[in-house]
Chains A and B, each alone.
Chain A
Amino acid sequence: MSLPTPLQRAVDVGDDSANVTPARLFIGRAGTAYRTSTQLQLRADHAFAKDALGASLSLHEQPMKDLVEHFALFEVATEADSHEEYLARPDKGRRLAAGVAETLRQNCPSGVDVQFVIGDGLSPLAVGAQVPSLLGPLMEHASARGWSVGRPFFVRNCRVGVINDIGEALDAQNVVLLLGERPGLATAESLSAYMAHRPRSGDTDAQRNLVSNIHPSGVSTEDAVRRILGLVDSFQLQGRSGFMVKESAQPTALPGAGDR
């Protein structure tokens, strides 16, 4: 049996792995250790990831300022008062601060089909890098499908579980939380969409779905929109979300199937 095509190609024409993966492949070795260049590059990438954690995001400055003007985006808080408390107290980052539920009810329509929410999570940089190009198409395409779409808002010091409080406050059919993921070495700009159908307090990850790795060398904006709205479609059809709802992939998304 011959080598799978991508491997045979690497043997025949040389290592082209940089074109297909951000992983550090075929980097050689010094004994069994990294070569000096690898060792120092890893240290540099770690330094950037650590510094990215301290980045801040303001709705009054670019790249978020335009979104505020375009979508009347506004900011609410969780019970976590500071970034330090957010890190140490996940329970607080999962709950809206006192009075926020009322604020949401006053400012957002209740009972919509899709409510988009933005959360800083562990990477404000990811929010700043991905959300400006993602939110518009998401809202447009959701409306184009005939769904009512709520007024989006931004949650500071936000954890995934805050979806439950949002569901309780606004009674949306589906909540999509666009959240900054922790910075990695290859990118600090990875965004995820956490999604739930009619979320309520007490719901867990078992009732949620996820589209992760939304960034330029991961899932493109276009694919993210297609996959997120495809899941919303499935939620609506099945009347539920979570591990029982499997994402349906397009046949074109099966690379390698022709190799067999």
Chain B
Amino acid sequence: MKRSVTLRGETFGFADLRELLARANEPKAGDRLAGIAASSERERVAAKMALADVSLGAFLDEPLIDDDVTGLIVSSVDHDAFAAIRSLTVGELRDLVLSSSFASEWEGGLKFALTPEMVAGVARIMSARDLITAAAPLQTVTRCRNTMGERGVLGVRVQPNHPTDDIAGVLLSALDGLLFGCGDAVIGVNPAGDSIENVVALEYALQDLISAVGAPTQSCVLAHFTTQLAALERGAPIDLLFQSIGGTEATNAGFGVTLQGLAEGREAVLASHADRQEFIGTNVMYFETGQGTALSVDGHGGMDQLTCEARAYGVARAFDPFLVNSVVGFIGPEYLANEREIMRAGLEDHFMGKLLGLPMGIDICYTNHVEANQDTTDQLLVLLATAGCNFVMGVPGSDDVMLNYQSTSYHDAAGVRELIGARPAPEFEEWLERSGIYEGGKLSELAATGPESLVAFSNSLKAIGL
């Protein structure tokens, strides 16, 4: 349906909902690259105004593309709950999500009435503070070996990557993270090699570490999900099944992923957990996403990158994940041009994920060929921690020596927890106190002070009988 807006005598028309959404998006290099961005700031704001008047019903009546992701999204809408908001406009939805009563309505079932496209629509008429304010009260609690996402909890993934997957290097990096109180979200390695043998060896090594120190957390080796499942078949312990996903069928095909494959993988991991009896919940999936991925594999189908990203969350939601994170600054300047675009995207992704009910984290990061630096990650970290982000990354010294990019460090994660009074996952915090890493709810004097803190940690473990 054609929509138009007249601003100071100049009329802007938009052919369909897909075009309207793209024109209304905040500036993103990827949308410019795709040739779908607004051609002027006037057109952008005209599109925002036209979008604010679109009713939510239109999002179900006018599917943006026809593929299996759209099918999944439409089939997972709670149509009874949707009936109550069908006639709301996108502008009215913004007012609603910012209202003080929204969190309880959302918890009461409204979250299952919202589709990714609606959420992507409202995000682009919100300011940065709107995105933070609206996300903060929304909680998504998930359970695997511990409990993530409760009020006041900021989880941290320990990311102990190594350029050749050297086990000693990986384990030492992971231990360093534990000494900073990090690792409650997951100890997750991106393997440099995708061989099954390599993944099996890493899975066992991480599991041995977790058992040896007694930390209630989960491990993950972020190989292609088919490699992890092959490792599972060989008996390797898989706590979380990881996969990168996108918001279109074509994007997922580019990753070697099908919805059915993910469903079967999840079932296989759940079955293995039933045998292992170490888990307190059934959230076993870990997904990563990022604005621009659909375009990077030529799978965007004419949709803007914010909309594609929200649809990826629609995919994630169907598999009841333990963790989801957008790797927001990883993709490069052709999709997010600079610090400003990265920061905007990080806040949008977190808000959209939360509104859709996901346990949303952000890998706050940048590559060296984009105009950003460690001040960028510092700033976005403080903003997202305030917004109630479920988890962030902890990389030794911020420097990922395998993937060659910078993220938030163990120091950063520990520091922002102290700054805003956030805690680790409760089971993990209890272990941190027992093992002497924490004292009175924060890092103890001796923790992570250098090599000598290893000895203190080892003595604490002995003292608690490990």
Interface residue? A248 (CB, 8 A): yes
* Docked pose: A34 CA to B397 CA in angstroms: 8
Beyond A1-B211, A29-B449, is A219–B404 a contact (Cβ under 8 Å)? no
Interface residue? A36 (CB, 8 A): no
> Which of the residues A38, A215, A246 comes within 8 Å of B230, measured between beta carbons?
A246
Interface residue? A190 (CB, 8 A): yes
Contact B369 A122 (CB under 8 A): yes
Interface residue? A146 (CB, 8 A): no
> Which of the residues B212, B453, B455 comes within 8 Å of A4, measured between beta carbons?
B212
Contact A254 B201 (CB under 8 A): yes
Contact A26 B451 (CB under 8 A): yes
Distance from A95 Cβ to chain B, minimum over Cβ atoms (Å): 12
Contact A21 B449 (CB under 8 A): no
Mark each residue of chain B from 199 to 216: 1 if its CB lies under 8 Å from any CB of chain A, else 0. Answer: 011001100110111000
Contact A246 B396 (CB under 8 A): no
> Which of the residues A90, A190, A259 comes within 8 Å of B33, measured between beta carbons?
A90
* Docked pose: A183 CA to B332 CA in angstroms: 13
A residues near B77, Cβ cutoff 8 Å: none
Interface residue? A99 (CB, 8 A): no
* Docked pose: A211 CA to B348 CA in angstroms: 34
Contact A26 B450 (CB under 8 A): yes
7 example contacts (A-B, Cβ-Cβ < 8 A) are as follows A10-B454, A21-B170, A32-B411, A32-B443, A184-B401, A218-B164, A223-B164
Interface residue? A182 (CB, 8 A): yes
Mark each residue of chain B from 256 to 287: 1 if its CB lies under 8 Å from any CB of chain A, else 0. Answer: 10000000000000000000000000000000
Contact A34 B368 (CB under 8 A): no
B-side interface size class: 35 or more
Contact B205 A20 (CB under 8 A): no
The segment from A42-50, A60-68, A103-111 found at the interface with B is A42-50
* Docked pose: A5 CA to B172 CA in angstroms: 10
Contact B254 A185 (CB under 8 A): no
Contact B163 A217 (CB under 8 A): yes
In the complex, which residues 79-101 of chain A have their Cβ closer than 8 Å to any Cβ of chain B? 87-91
* Docked pose: A6 CA to B195 CA in angstroms: 23
For the complex of A and B, the 9 pairs showing the least CB-CB separation, nearest first, are: A184-B404, A256-B167, A24-B397, A21-B169, A6-B168, A218-B163, A32-B415, A15-B451, A243-B256
Interface residue? A55 (CB, 8 A): no
Contact B175 A7 (CB under 8 A): yes
> Which of the residues A23, A24, A91, A243 comes within 8 Å of B224, measured between beta carbons?
A243
A2's closest neighbor in chain B, by CB? B212
* Docked pose: A254 CA to B204 CA in angstroms: 11
In the complex, which residues 31-78 of chain B have their Cβ closer than 8 Å to any Cβ of chain A? 33
Interface residue? A72 (CB, 8 A): no
Q: Which residues of A contact B (CB under 8 A)?
A: 1-8, 10-11, 14-15, 17, 20-29, 31-34, 38, 42, 45-46, 49-50, 52-53, 87-91, 122, 181-187, 190, 204-206, 209-213, 215, 217-219, 223, 227, 242-244, 246-249, 251, 253-257, 259-260
Choose among A89, A215, A254 the residue with the greatest number of B CB atoms under 10 Å from its CB. Answer: A254
A213's closest neighbor in chain B, by CB? B163
B227's closest neighbor in chain A, by CB? A246
Beyond A50-B368, A206-B254, A206-B256, is A11–B168 a contact (Cβ under 8 Å)? no
A residues near B451, Cβ cutoff 8 Å: 10, 14-15, 26
Contact B448 A28 (CB under 8 A): yes
> Which of the residues A3, A50, A182, A217 comes within 8 Å of B212, measured between beta carbons?
A3
* Docked pose: A6 CA to B457 CA in angstroms: 15
Beyond A32-B411, A205-B254, is A23–B213 a contact (Cβ under 8 Å)? no
Contact B415 A255 (CB under 8 A): no
* Docked pose: A249 CA to B198 CA in angstroms: 7
Beyond A3-B213, A217-B163, A218-B163, is A253–B197 a contact (Cβ under 8 Å)? yes
Interface residue? B326 (CB, 8 A): no
> Which of the residues A3, A182, A257 comes within 8 Å of B201, measured between beta carbons?
A257
Beyond A15-B451, A87-B333, is A25–B176 a contact (Cβ under 8 Å)? yes
> Which of the residues A25, A186, A247 comes within 8 Å of B193, measured between beta carbons?
A247
* Docked pose: A212 CA to B162 CA in angstroms: 11
B residues near A46, Cβ cutoff 8 Å: 368, 373-374, 406
* Docked pose: A88 CA to B338 CA in angstroms: 12
> Which of the residues A20, A182, A204, A259 comes within 8 Å of B297, measured between beta carbons?
A204
Contact A215 B368 (CB under 8 A): no
In the complex, which residues 164-185 of chain B have their Cβ closer than 8 Å to any Cβ of chain A? 164, 166-173, 175-176
* Docked pose: A45 CA to B403 CA in angstroms: 16
B residues near A256, Cβ cutoff 8 Å: 167-168, 171, 201, 204-205
> Which of the residues A45, A204, A205, A213 comes within 8 Å of B192, measured between beta carbons?
A213
> Which of the residues A2, A14, A27, A181 comes within 8 Å of B404, measured between beta carbons?
A181
Contact A11 B455 (CB under 8 A): yes
A residues near B256, Cβ cutoff 8 Å: 205-206, 242-244
B residues near A184, Cβ cutoff 8 Å: 368, 399-401, 403-405
B residues near A31, Cβ cutoff 8 Å: 415
* Docked pose: A182 CA to B397 CA in angstroms: 19
